[in-house]
Amino acid sequence: ILTAAKERGQLIFLEGLKSCLDLLFGEEEQSGQPSPLQFLSEGASDLKALFDFVRTSLTPAGSDSWKGPVLLVDDLSVLLSLGAAPVAVLDFIHYCRVVVCSQLKGNIVVLVHSNEDSEDEENELVVNSLCHHSDLILWVEGLATGFCKDVHGQIKIIRRVSLELTAEKDLVQVYQYKIQDKNVTFFARGLSAAVL
Amino acid sequence: MSEICCFKGHDLKFYWTINWVVILLGIFLLALTLLLFIFPKNKENQRCVVKIQVGDLSNKKEKIPTVLVFTEEDKYGLYSNLLFKYFLAEGVVCGHELFVASAKEHPDNILKELPAPLLDDTYRNELGEEATAVKSEDFQDSMKIAWRYQNLPKTEASPTSTKFGHYYDVSKTMPPELFQSRNWHSFYLPEELSLHPLPLHLPCKLTPARRAYTRLLQSIQRIIYQEGFDGSDPQKKQKNILRIGIQSLGSMLWGDDICSSDTPEDIHSLTKFLYVLRALLRKSLSACIITVPAHLIQNKAIMERVTNLSDMVVGLESFIGSERETNPLYKDYHGLVHVHQIPRLNSLICDVSDTKDLAFRLKRKLFTIERLHLPPDLSDTVSRTSKQDLAESAKLLSSGCGAMAIGKKHLDF
């Protein structure tokens, strides 16, 4: 399905691992266009090239545009490992929000890693400020009591109702899940097949 | 559970028979069962992964999983070095190409010290399995006291039929003609730096670590490209796997200061290196093992990022010089194995074993990884207090390895 979508132009996929190879070992100056991962080679910690790539990809070209684009970022934390400053990462996300959410009426989904007793302060800064701006947070974690064969962890779904400036509190739902080979089953707490 | 039972059976046997031959046989079988059940089961991670790759070669449409195995060195680097050599030796025996990179030991010397394979092991295994079968039958018949264990299913015996990898004798070194017949490449940092002085056009603001890593990456990339591991050249007669081993990455010898300072000059050099290496591995038919002196790395955030960037992370904790050396719980072992990350290959879930507590020991000829368990209670006069001590330290252990510590407070379901 995904390759079909790609051919129709519905999906644009930037494969970081591949394009970083092209950048580092590829021929110099193929088309004069800067690589989206320009920041890797120059040591400059700004993600402008990456943002430009996002903007040009998502800007509707002609009549066959798809309504409501979605920007999926798989692992923002990796950008930090690659030398981008946390402020640069947050700037990047902010610019993306302006373009995707406000101008194009689309959505952004971002994956980040986090850990409660993490010592990675830069990463925690990014995670916290992302949580602050998000409308919906899916927080996946292992069970506090340790590993279990039938319940692999729990997912906390936090609906940020408080962002709409009503006096209500955020809605929190917790489900537990079990991962199988090809799919995941979710169930309410304490209702795993092993217990019932 | 079933493991302990199995031991019980053997121990009872010790009591009943005074015949020395039987005792010797028992000891031999115990060693053999450990060797057969446990060793292949736990070395599985590296091995089976590489096996999967071989299997996938025939099916070109499938995405080929390539793996970055990451080993946190033990304090004195003894056992991680051994594991590193096991990985390379397995490559030699399987006929893979090798790439060895080091900044400390010359790769030639590393290869000279690979453990010798026990090549007649198929024959030996068959023999061993038969003997085990005979043995288990006869102790089933004779279970008069431990009758409650009699009808337990022998699930532990099944993995013996599938064989992972080969066995090695660590007391001997591999015959040189064996690895000289293989195609291998080496990268020795001091040599590389002196042979090819830095090109002038490179900006001199590069830190020494960045320079070394760039050199290493270029070297790996050149080999992958030249030898056709990237699959770009379909005419190449035979596809092979490149096994990459990198020793003590991130240590001072690589010019990296993450081990010596809390706020290193270039905090991203190691993680950047890993990312590009991952990209190279993803594109090619290769597997890589890296050992890292994790206990020396000052900034713990680096290790967290490194874990996220690798497919599999295993930590070795040696008892040498630690207070656990004298703990009766660990008296049979030389260290603990912590599995921090397991890869998920073409599936949503990874293969998780039931026990998280693994320990290793180095015997005269064999390095084994076993499930940690309390030693069988042989004497009649063991006092209650010492048993409780053991139980306590076992509890302490699980609090160290997992999130079991707060088990009493929480009740998840």
Task: Write the secondary structure of chain A as one string of H (helix), E (strand) and C (coil).
Answer: CHHHHHHCCCCCCCCHHHHHHHHHHCCCCCCCCCCCCCHHHHCCCCCHHHHHHHHHHHCCCCCCCCCCCEEEECCCHHHHHCCCCHHHHHHHHHHHHHHHHHHCCCEEEECCCCCCCCCCHHHHHHHHHHHHHCCEEEEEECCCCCCCCCCCEEEEEEECHHHHCCCCCCEEEEEEEEECCCCEEEEECCCCCCCC
Residue B135 pLDDT: 46
Strands B184-188 and B97-102: parallel
Q: Are B45 and B344 in contact (CB under 8 A)?
A: no
A111 and A50 within one domain: yes
- Measured in whole angstroms, the distance separating CA A101 from the mean position of its chain's CA atoms is 14
Confidence at B11, pLDDT banded by 50, 70, 90: very low
B384 and B239 within one domain: no
Q: B313, B334, B364: which is the final residue of a domain?
A: B313
Give the residue on A whose Cα is nearest the Cα of B267.
A83
Q: Are B357 and B398 in contact (CB under 8 A)?
A: yes
Helices of type H across B256-412: 269-283, 300-309, 384-401
B296 and B334 within one domain: no
Residue B393 pLDDT: 57
Statement: residue B142 has pLDDT above 80: no
B198 and B88 within one domain: yes
Residue B134 pLDDT: 44
Q: Taking Cα atoms as reference points, which of B393, B373, B376, B397 lies closest to residue B385?
A: B393
Residue B269 pLDDT: 84
Q: Is A17's CB within 8 Å of B403's CB?
A: no
Residue B106 pLDDT: 85
Statement: residue B49 has pLDDT above 70: no
Angstrom distance (rounded) from CA B176 to CA A143: 51
Highest mean pLDDT among A42-51, A98-107, B139-148, B160-169: A98-107
A9 and A89 within one domain: yes
Statement: residue A31 has pLDDT above 60: no
B151 and B12 within one domain: yes
**Domain holding B186: CATH number?**
3.40.50.300
SS3 per residue for A101-152: HHHCCCEEEECCCCCCCCCCHHHHHHHHHHHHHCCEEEEEECCCCCCCCCCC
Q: Is B413's CB within 8 Å of A176's CB?
A: yes
Residue B198 pLDDT: 56
The alpha carbon of residue A183 is apart from the nearest alpha carbon of chain B, in Å, by: 7
pLDDT tens-digit map of B341-380: 877 766 777 766 666 778 888 887 788 888 877 666 665 5
B351 and B289 within one domain: no
Statement: residue B165 has pLDDT above 80: no
CA distances (Å), origin B210, targets A184, B160, B249, B271, B299: 41, 46, 12, 11, 18
The domain in which residue B154 lies consists of: 2-313
Least confident of A82-91, A129-138, B1-10, B45-54: B45-54
Angstrom distance (rounded) from CA B191 to CA B126: 47
User: How is the beta sheet containing A184-188 ordered, strand by strand?
Assistant: A136-141, A153-159, A171-179, A184-188
Provide ipTM, 2 decimals.
0.86
Burial of A25-43, coded b for 16+ CB within 10 Å and e otherwise, reads beeeeeeeeebbbbbbeee
Residue A138 pLDDT: 92
Residue B228 pLDDT: 74
The total domain count for chain A is 2
Give the residue on B whose Cα is nearest the Cα of A121.
B301
A138 vs B397: which has the higher pLDDT:
A138
A172 and A152 within one domain: yes
Q: Is A147's CB within 8 Å of B402's CB?
A: yes
Residues of chain A neighbouring B271 (CB-CB closer than 8 A): 81-83
A124 and A44 within one domain: yes
CB atoms within 10 A of CB B17: 14
A151 and A111 within one domain: no
CB atoms within 10 A of CB B232: 11
Mean pLDDT score of chain B: 66
Residues of chain B neighbouring A115 (CB-CB closer than 8 A): 304
A127 and A51 within one domain: yes
pLDDT tens-digit map of A131-158: 888 889 999 988 888 777 788 888 999 9
The domain in which residue A105 lies consists of: 2-134
Least confident of B135-144, B173-182, B261-270: B135-144
Statement: residue B334 has pLDDT above 80: yes
Q: B313, B340, B357: which is the final residue of a domain?
A: B313
Q: Taking Cα atoms as reference points, which of B68, B60, B272, A14 lies closest to residue A6?
A: A14
Statement: residue B317 has pLDDT above 80: yes
Residues of chain A neighbouring B407 (CB-CB closer than 8 A): 145-146
- Give the residue-averaged pLDDT of A107-120: 85
pLDDT tens-digit map of B236-290: 556 778 888 888 888 888 887 777 777 777 788 888 888 888 888 888 888 888 8
Q: B288, B313, B338: which is the final residue of a domain?
A: B313
The residues near B85 (Cβ < 8 Å, ≥ 6 apart) are B110, B113, B114, B115
Residue B222 located in a structural domain: yes
Least confident of A72-81, B23-32, B43-52, B211-220: B43-52
pLDDT tens-digit map of B77-126: 788 888 888 888 888 887 888 888 888 888 888 888 888 887 655 544 54
The total domain count for chain B is 2
Radius of gyration for chain B, computed over Cα atoms and rounded to the nearest angstrom: 24
